[in-house]
Structure 1
Amino acid sequence: MWAKTALLIFIVWVIQGLLSYSQIKNFKLKLAEFKNYHRFGIGQVKGRFSRGVIVILGVDSNDIIVNAEIMSGITVFARFKPFDTLKNQNINHINAITKSMNKCTRNAAIEAINSLKHTKILEKEVVESV
Structure 2
Amino acid sequence: MVTTLITVAIIAWLSQLALGGWQIWRFNRAFDQLCQQGRVGVGRSGGRFKPRVVIAVALDKDDKVCDSLIMRGLTVFARPGKIRNINGNYLEELKPDVIFPQDPLCQNALSLALKLKHG
Alignment-derived partner of residue 63 in structure 1: 63
CA deviation after TM superposition for structure 1 residue 77, in Å: 0.3
Asked if 1:44 is matched to 2:44, the reply is yes
Match of 1:93 in 2: 93
What residue ranges of structure 1 are gaps of 5+ in the alignment? 124-130
Matching residue's letter, 2:41? G
- Identical-pair percentage: 25
The whole-number CA distance in structure 2 between the counterparts of 1:76 and 1:24 is: 9
Alignment of 1:103-122 (within 5 A): 103-114=104-115, 116=116, 118=117, 120=118
Tell me by how many angstroms 1:32 deviates.
1.2
Q: Which residue of 2 aligns with 1:127?
A: none
**Distance in 2 between the 1:85 and 1:100 partners?**
13
**For the residues of structure 2 that align with 1:84 and 1:77, how far apart are their CA atoms?**
21
Q: Structure 1: which amino acid aligns with 2:107?
A: R
Aligned length: 118
- The TM-score, its normalising length taken from structure 2, stands at 0.91
Alignment root-mean-square deviation, CA: 1.4
Partner SS for 1:82: coil
Instruction: Write out the 4+ residue segments of structure 1 that deviate beyond 4 Å after TM superposition.
Output: none
Q: Is the Cα contact below 8 Å between 1:86 and 1:97 reproduced in 2? A: no
| Kept in 2: contact 1:43–1:112 (CA 8 A) | yes
TM-score for the superposition, normalised by structure 1: 0.84
Select the structure that is richer in helix: 1
Query: Which of these two proteins has the greater Rg computed from alpha carbons?
Result: 1
One-letter amino acid matched to 2:106: T
Residue 78 of structure 2 corresponds to which residue in structure 1? 78
Contact 2:69/2:82, CA 8 A, preserved across alignment: yes
C-alpha contact 1:23 1:77 (8 A) present in aligned 2: yes
More deviation, 5-14/92-101: 92-101
